[in-house]
Structure 1
Amino acid sequence: MATEQVVEQQHEDPTAYAGVLRFYELAKRAEWQVRDLPWGEIPPIPETKGAPQKVARRRDMWRSVITQQLQADELACEMASQLLNIAPDHEAKLYYSTMVQDESRHTEAWLRLSGEIGGTAERDPHLDALAHMTLEADTLEEKVFQMQVFYERLIISRFRLIARSSRGTLLEDLCNRLTTDDGIHHGAGMAYEKVLLQNASKQTKQKLVDAANRLLPTFVEHALWRPKERAFIGRAMHARDIERLKEDLEIGVRLAESLGLDVSEVQLPV
């Protein structure tokens, strides 16, 4: 059955889900495979010269970076699968079928990349806590906003930063691919959240604000957390991390406002 026919049969307004379906088509066209990366042709991470201790420390640092991204995409697999299962709209399910594939492919790529550099490092406990909050959220509107509108938007700049710091490596290649994929995830989330909120009750919208106030303190802990492998960077970059955190929170507020949400009761922790 054609996508357009699905819309006509299920909705009085055939344009209501046009944005979601547009991102569904984009996701299909942007699909790639882990085997497409130039494995064995370029180094997995930036190569460091110098004393063995320095080389080992830099390798541990990159291992921790990759571990956190692997952790994030493992959790994203759970969240995307949940969205696929609970979304009531056929068009949204079409999109989430591609998102589940994306997050699984991302996880596969991170697993393979971590294997190239000696395994994984310490997990971020605050990231696990954030994912648990989203998985346990009461409403679909909360889940879509937290995962796609907020998290997927913020990770794009992180991938660009990692890519700039790892020129000529598999890590750069992977981050560039994920920048595109997560841009589509975010765009689809914005499109679907607009549909969900169009006729949402005041109570449902208030739940989004209440959820944000519960989530933001943990988000701050996540943003400022560093594993021992990157503790030396964390100390040096603390002031910049605080500024970036404020920028992230401001982005979240602007995104919420663009969706017509009243954010006057959101309590920013920094």
Structure 2
Amino acid sequence: MLDNHMTLMEPAGKGLIYNGTLVRDKGEMLSLTDMWKAAGADPQQAPAKWRALPSTQTFIDHVSDIVGKSDIIRSGRGRTGATFAHWQIAMAYAKYLSPEFHMWCNSVVRAHMEGTKAPGIPADTLEQIERSFGIMRMVAHKVTEIEKSLPGIVANLIEPLVAARLAESALLLRSGRTAKQIYDAHGLPPGIKGMMVWFGNRLAEGGCLLEGRADRGEKAIRLFDPDKAETLLGLGLLHKTKVYASERMGQRRLKLVEAAE
């Protein structure tokens, strides 16, 4: 049942009346400006603002493809100008304005426009277009909400990642040992050039290297598992290191002798 304030239809040629406001029609076109005024003239729902929505333009393109006309929406100039659109587009605008006005347009405007001789879009096709239009509006709204909340989401993700990275570095520093620390702990000969690189490579080959590198000052260093290193040294690396160190020291003494001669 329609509300008492809804007058169904004036005689042909005079347009339609809603809540005492004339909604003009021209062939297949309806005045969006009149519809806006009849529905309450909310400035935020003016025809120009509605047409500016990306989802609205997509819907207009769909109607244009189906109807086969490019000139399906026109705007007049000046203060007294009005925007007219194909009645199928006007029905979508009615849904945007208010549920009550959309219901009235569904029962009165549709009947009036489908009674004209001009061909329109089949009802089932229009229903599919309107459903797609509604889905697009819903998706656009959700995307906007996601964009608004994105900075907070990113901030909430970054903080625990940074904390985890710091904790990982702290764990490496607490539990790992450098090649020099392990080397010195076993009383091996100091001051041999390149010895720590050779020793660290042997530890790494033996599976003692900890994942990641710890930062000490401006330098990133390799850290090794002291327990694994101890096992590896007991299996022969300690002896091998002593032999290698002895050879390097012997070469250095040889060079010193040659230089003295």
- TM-score, normalising length: structure 1: 0.29
More strand per residue: 2
Structure number with larger C-alpha Rg: 2
More helix per residue: 1
- TM-score, normalising length: structure 2: 0.30
Task: Report which structure shows greater RCO (CA 8 Å, sep ≥6).
Answer: 1
